[in-house]
A and B are shown apart, each in its own frame.
Chain A
Amino acid sequence: MSQEGAELDREPAVRVEGVGVGYGDVLALDGVDLAIAQGRVCGLVGANGSGKSTLFKTVTGMITPARGRVLVHGLTPTAARKRGLIGYVPQSEQVDWAFPVRVADVVMMGRYGHMGITRRPRAADRAAVADALERTHLSDLADRQIGALSGGQRKRAFVARGIAQGARVFLLDEPFAGVDKRSEATIVEVLRAMRDAGHTLVVSTHDLAGVPELCDEVALLQRRVVAHGSPEEVLTPQRLLETFGIEGRPVREVA
């Protein structure tokens, strides 16, 4: 399959076609179809074990699906990775917050794909880092150790890393977990600005915090996509009951 000269603007930003993934005799994903247009924020909502992480890993190419395929801006995950198109914002629990790196160091890690073999930063890399910090309102905190940030600031630091990287598609794993209301509002503001600049965001979450405020569309995942549409269409009590097996928390504190 030739991807040479593929236009990066090729739609959709993320296309998942009939993807099936199994671990041993457990089926994690079973025929997932999903297309997310460029410049959209898509909430990926599902209970624990619904396959959200597996789907993320398939999009980044860490897992090769047994069936189906994934395209990011028309490119295979491997090609998209090589071009730095995919930005990943990890879950809080997956990060060692005591690691001796500064915020600016973490954001600079986004530039490594653009650097020579020793990853020595050049003026362009420093400028990209400064710009990313500015856009995530972290310029004043650049010299802090990464763990010395609040929950919301930590998330924004990793978003800044993706911006410095030049990523077009962002995968955010539970971005609102352990984040207070005010920080949540700042994150939503930053992410919306990114969407308006043409980035595509996929936000995975197992509760509905922040989803209606942030997302243009929602995909409900239960080993396959059981519904995909606007938050109002998808997050109905009936659907939430089916997905979570319990009365889903109603769309929270939204008028």
Chain B
Amino acid sequence: MEALLDWFTVPFQFEFMRRALLVAVVAGGVCAVLSCWLTLIGWSLLGDAVSHAVLPGVVLSYLFGLPFAAGALVFGAGSVALIGVVNRTSRVKEDAVIGIVFTAMFGAGVVLISKIPSETDLMHILFGNVLGVSDAEIAQILVMALVTLVVVAVKHRDLTLFAFDRVHAHAIGLSPRRLEALLLGLLSVTVVIALQAVGVILVVAMVIIPGATAYLLTDRFERMLAISVAVSVAASVLGTYASFHFNVATGGAIVVTQAAAFGLAYLFAPRHGVLGRRLRTRAVVARGEAPRAGAPS
């Protein structure tokens, strides 16, 4: 028992660990909120795209000594806009357009990276640097997280309506276009927040896994948001501690922990888990009941 307590309290005495936990928890929480809508709309690929497309922006920011957020936002939003334009004006299907734009951006980022003198900084951009994050970076993260959460608090019902039925949103006088732009804008900001914690390559996990995990565990949107945030924050804390104790990369540890949570939900979720479903089917067959039309599945 004491050993377990020490496992958590000893690292907490270090200043860098407290800062790392703060960043990981904030990033995990904000990503988890956005991930619910991304999962439901089916925008995971878009999340992947945005997270890779910010790379040239981050590298340029680094080269010019600007905050990462500045360049990342320009390239994140720019890529989404570019995907939209090419998609509307050519016959190429959307998934191909997304694939082309984000790999092109990522490629440009990799080319620019060769201009970076230090190997260490390169690794920080690609894999995050949560253990060495500066005061200025923490301040940026907190401001962006606050703005994102306030906007979400005000607009969450509209975003859910947009995710569920954009034709109805249009029919009652809302603008699906504007809601789409809002959600993509929030996604860009969120990606930049999470980038500091886990790096460009692993950000996509943070904006998909928590929502997908929660989706397996409930049929109510409010609960899905709560579960998603809880899973993500817990994974951030456990992952950060694991990286301290086992001396492994923090970003990787956080994402692996999230994936483990998803795996558990996939297997054991009461209604939508593989095992739960199989057991219920067996019970129904044993009782000799015919499946009811429209029964909850």
Contacts and interface: CB of A to CB of B under 8 A. Distances in A.
A202 B295 CA distance: 30
Nearest to B294: A150
A74 B143 CA distance: 48
Contacts of B8: none
A112 B158 contact: yes
A81 B173 contact: yes
B93 interface: no
Contacts of A118: 153-155, 157
A117 B154 contact: yes
A147 B221 contact: no
Contacts of A148: 219, 294-297
B168 to A, nearest CB: 6
Interface stretch (A25-33, A101-109, A204-212): A101-109
Interface string B134-173: 0000000000000000000111011011011101101111
Contacts of B165: 90, 95, 109
Main secondary structure on chain A at its contact with chain B? Answer: mixed
B224 interface: yes
Contacts of A144: 296
Contacts of B157: 112, 118-119
Interface string A98-137: 0111100110011011000111000000000000000000
B218 interface: yes
A119 B158 contact: yes
B174 interface: yes
Contacts of B215: 100
B212 to A, nearest CB: 12
B178 interface: no
Contacts of A149: 294
Interface in A57-94: 60-62, 81-84, 86-88, 90, 94
A200 interface: no
Nearest to B295: A148
B220 A88 contact: no
Q: Most chain-B Cβ atoms within 10 A of its Cβ — which of A86, A100, A106, A145?
A: A100
Contacts of A150: 293-294
B164 A165 contact: no
A99 B40 CA distance: 7
Interface residues of A, number: 37
A62 to B, nearest CB: 6
Contacts, number: 84
A165 B172 contact: yes
Interface string A178-215: 00000000000000000000000000000000000000
Q: Most chain-A Cβ atoms within 10 A of its Cβ — which of B158, B215, B219, B293?
A: B219
A161 interface: yes
Nearest to B174: A112
Nearest to B215: A100
Interface string B256-297: 000000000000000000000000000000000000011111
A86 B171 contact: yes
Interface string A147-181: 11111010000000100010000000000000000
Contacts of A9: none
A232 interface: no
A4 interface: no
A87 B172 CA distance: 8
A112 B294 contact: no
B220 A113 contact: no
Nearest to A94: B167
A253 interface: no
Q: Most chain-A Cβ atoms within 10 A of its Cβ — which of B154, B171, B174, B297?
A: B171
Contact of A100 (B153, B220, B297): B220
A7 interface: no
B224 to A, nearest CB: 5
A117 B159 CA distance: 12
Interface in A223-255: none
A99 B295 CA distance: 15
Contacts of A119: 157-158
Interface string B224-251: 1000000000000000000000000000
A62 B294 contact: no
5 contacts: A100-B219, A110-B172, A112-B172, A118-B157, A144-B296
Given A119-B157, A150-B293, 5 more contacts: A62-B170, A83-B173, A109-B168, A112-B174, A117-B154
Interface of B: 40, 153-155, 157-158, 160-161, 163-165, 167-168, 170-174, 215, 218-221, 223-224, 293-297
